[in-house]
Amino acid sequence: MSDTIFALSSGRPPAAIAVLRISGPAARTAAEALAGRCPPPRRASLRTVRDAAGAPLDRALVLYFPGPATATGEDLVELHCHGGRAVVAAVEHALAALPGLRPARPGEFTRRALENGRIDLAQAQGLADLLEAETETQRRTALAAAEGAVGRAVAGWLDRLSAIAARVEAQLDFADEADVEDAGGYDPAPAISALLAEWHATLAAPSVERLRDGIRVVIAGPPNAGKSSLFNALVDRDAAIVTPIAGTTRDILEAAVMRDGIPYRLTDTAGLAEATDDEVERIGIDRAAAAIASADMLLWMGAPAVAPRGAVILAGKADLPDTGSNDADLAVSARLPDTVAALWALLADRARMMLAIDGDMALRQSQRDALADAAAALDLAARTSDLLIVAEQLRVATRPLAGLLGRDATEAMLDALFGRFCLGK
C-alpha cells in the first residue's frame, strides 16, 4: 500500500491562508486524528486542528474528497489553515507524527495523478509548465496541455493510425485468403497524407521551450556595422561594449527581453569578418555562425546581396547621410529612437505570426521529437504502395506517439483498435 503524503500546496508562508493537502489511504484517518469527525465528502467544515496531545493548533476548514474521483486518484484531504509560519510548521509537524504519513516529494501529487490514470503524461508536463508560466502565451499553451489538449490530439492521431492500420491489415488478410495480387479496395494514401499534413503543421508551431525561453532574435553582419549599438538600444541598457574599433564584439552576447507580453532572447554576434588570424576572433565568428543557424529571426546589418536567407535586412547608421538603405527592409540607428521603435514593431509582427498556434497547442521539444519520428515513419508509408511496408511503418509511427501518453505502443494500438472497432473476429 502506498504512503500517505502531505504538503503545503499554497504559496510560501506567511500568507492569509495556507492549504495543506493530504493524499493516500490514510488521508481520512489523518483528518480525523487532527480535526475530529471527518466532514461529509466535498463539504467545507470548520474544525479545530489539534496535535497528538490534544493541544489546539489552529481553526481550519477541512475538506474531504474520497478517491478515486480526486486530483490524485486517492483519498484526499485539504486543510485550509491560517497562513502563518508557526501555524503551518505546527500542523506539518503534527501530520508527520501520524503513522503512515510523510511529507510529499516535489511533484508527487501530480505523479500519483499520472500513475492512477487521472492525467496523461502530456497533461502532467502541461501542469508543470503552467506553474512556471510567466507570460500570457505561456499560460494559454500550458493550460491547454494541462487540460489535456496535447493528450487528446495525440490520442486522436493514434486512433486514426489504428483505423488505417486495421484496414490495411484487413486488406492484407484478404489478399492472402483470396490469393490474388491486387485485392482492390482500400487506399490508405489520402488518410495518411491528411495525418502528415496535421503533423507538419503542429511541428511548424514553436515549442513550449521556445515560448518559455523567448524567440531567438540574432543580430549579425560585418564588423563595425553598428550591431552592438543596436543591441544596446533594443535591450535598453549598455550590455554590449561599443567602440569604433572593428571586431569589438568577440563573443556572442545574449539578453532576455520581454516586450508586449512576448519573450525574446536577443543575441549580438561578432562581426563576420572574411578572414582572421586571431584565434579568439575566429571562435567568436564560429559562435556567431552557430547563433545565426539557430535564430528564429535574423537581423542582418550588411549588404543585402550576402544576407542569409530569410533575414530581415537592416540598413544601419540611418542617421548618417548616404547609408544606401534602398534594398533594406528597414533603416535603423541606435541614435534614432523612432527607428528602434519601428524595429520593435516589425519584430512583434513576426513574433505574433510565429506564436499564433492553431488551437493553442504547443509541444515540448521531447514531444516534437517523438512526433517528428512518427512523421518520418509515416512519410515512408506515404511513399510506397506496398501494403506490407505501409503496415510496418504505421506500427513504427505508433510507438513514439504512444510513448507521449506514457502508454505502451502495442497496448495503445490495441486500446484504440478494440475501443473503436468491432471487426467481428
Ligand X SMILES: Nc1nc2c(ncn2[C@@H]2O[C@H](COP(=O)(O)OP(=O)(O)OP(=O)(O)O)[C@@H](O)[C@H]2O)c(=O)[nH]1
Cβ atoms of 62 and 37 within 8 Å: the answer is no
Query: Using CB under 6 A, which of 319, 329, 369, 379 touches ligand X?
Result: 319
Query: How many CA within 13 A on the CB side of residue 116?
Result: 19
Query: Using CB under 6 A, which of 24, 206, 226, 403 touches ligand X?
Result: 226
To the question of whether residue 78 is assigned a binding role by annotation, the answer is: yes
Judged by phi (left if over 0) then psi (alpha if -120 to 50, else beta), residue 140 lies in alpha
Cβ atoms of 137 and 262 within 8 Å: the answer is yes
Residues in the chain: 425
Regarding 21 and contact with ligand X (CB under 6 A), the answer is no
> Which region, judged by CB under 6 A, interacts with ligand X, from 21-29, 135-143, 165-173, 237-245?
237-245
Closest approach of Cβ 219 to ligand X, in Å? 8
- Give me 291's grid cell: 547563433
Sequence-distant (6+) residues with CB within 8 A of 85 are 13, 14
> Which region, judged by CB under 6 A, interacts with ligand X, from 62-70, 176-184, 313-321, 355-363?
313-321
Closest approach of Cβ 322 to ligand X, in Å? 12
Regarding 225 and contact with ligand X (CB under 6 A), the answer is yes
Regarding 267 and contact with ligand X (CB under 6 A), the answer is no
Cβ atoms of 233 and 255 within 8 Å: the answer is no
> Which region, judged by CB under 6 A, interacts with ligand X, from 110-118, 188-196, 222-230, 359-367?
222-230
Regarding 229 and contact with ligand X (CB under 6 A), the answer is yes
Neighbours of 275 (CB within 10 A): 6
The dihedral sign for the CA sequence 157, 161, 167, 170: negative
Residues binding ligand X: number (CB under 6 A) = 23
Regarding 244 and contact with ligand X (CB under 6 A), the answer is yes
Quote the CA–CA distance of 166 and 413 in Å, as a whole number.
10
Annotated binding site for K(+): 224, 243, 245, 248
Residues that bind ligand X (CB under 6 A): 223-229, 242-244, 246-249, 270-271, 316-317, 319-320, 333-335
Give binding residues for (6S)-5-formyl-5,6,7,8-tetrahydrofolate as ranges.
21, 78, 118, 425
